[in-house]
Amino acid sequence: MRFLDDQDPRGAEVMAALHPYTGGARVVGVTGTPGAGKSTLIDAIIAIWRQMGLRVGVVAVDPTSPFTGGAILGDRVRMQRHATDPGVFIRSLATRGRLGGLSASTGEVVQVLDAMGYQRILVETVGVGQDEVEVVSLADLVVVVVSPGQGDEVQAHKAGVLEIADLLVVNKADQVGAERTARDLCLAVEMAPAGARRPKVLRTTASVGAGVKEVVEEVEGLLSDMEVSGQRAASARARTQKMVVDMVMESLGERVRLLVERDQGVRDLLDKVHAREVAPRQAAAKLLSEIARDEAKATEGPAE
């Protein structure tokens, strides 16, 4: 079971059993470049939600160390003051570099927390790429955290950030350059093409809690709006679909991996590609038909 980070066969059964109890949680993605202060901001958000009587789950995705598979606890210590609160569940996950790894395993943890009655679930990623996209697919809405003085690349990424953000937070607002970063983002939001979303730009100094209440208010307001407009139902449906597709792709990926590792015919074929005797695409086509035949054989009975 992925939630337990191992291959426990009960996983699928447990997930199936939990499934009817899910759907109540609101999932908020928090992403941004390293050092933006995401964990500190999350810590402050948790405190406010707890004051509101909400149970809060946090899934912190550690994209690093894919080669050993271990989650790096790193800055999770910043959330430790909530560690003994039974109304708060915090878990770090390593993505392990798997295709679709983030969304498949994180999706399952979100499902479990949802079924357990956590009303707000924060999914934190250090996103500057693929991971950001995955968070979008998991969350009802996405908060992008930026901090001043993170170099030109933040500027270059502005377009990408605007596309996924439902709310922009300039953290470390007490630092030099914060005003300029906030102004730049506001300007970029104003200049976004017609029909594009226009996220608010809020300023926080999460380390002292400044501005965090406004962030929570905006998040809650957006969640209510989504409920009323039916957008939340649509995003929940899209999420269900993505979860199933991810499972299918992971399963297919495993088939391919096994074929490549164990099937002598496939290994010979790959050797020919390496020797420039067969083109990669020809080999890929051959592999596809192998998988289909194996899969068809394996599922002939139960299917229909």
The residues in 48-77 that bind a copy of itself, with binding defined as CB under 8 A, are 63-68, 70, 72-75
* Beta carbons of 278 and 284 less than 8 angstroms apart: no
Select from 2-10, 176-184, 212-220, 232-240 the region that touches a copy of itself (CB under 8 A).
Answer: 232-240
Selection from 144, 106, 125, 128 nearest residue 5 by Cα = 106
157 lines the binding site for a copy of itself (CB under 8 A): yes
Residue that is written with structure tokens 């958000």 in the block: 45
- Report the nearest approach of a copy of itself to the CB of residue 115 (Å): 11
Kindly report the number of other CB atoms within 10 A of residue 111's CB atom. 21
Judged by CB under 8 A, the chain residues 8 through 47 that form the site for a copy of itself are 12, 15-16, 19-20, 22-23, 33-35
296 lines the binding site for a copy of itself (CB under 8 A): yes
Give the span between the Cα atoms of 103 and 135, in whole angstroms: 7
Strands (E), the chain: 26-32, 56-62, 88-94, 120-126, 141-146, 167-170, 200-203
Nearer to a copy of itself, 39 or 203 (CB): 39
99 lines the binding site for a copy of itself (CB under 8 A): yes
When binding is defined by CB under 8 A, the residue of 100, 148, 199, 211 that contacts a copy of itself is 100
156 lines the binding site for a copy of itself (CB under 8 A): yes
Helices (H), 139-195: 152-156, 158-164, 178-190
* Beta carbons of 273 and 266 less than 8 angstroms apart: no
Nearer to a copy of itself, 16 or 228 (CB): 16
95 lines the binding site for a copy of itself (CB under 8 A): yes
Judged by CB under 8 A, the chain residues 176 through 195 that form the site for a copy of itself are none
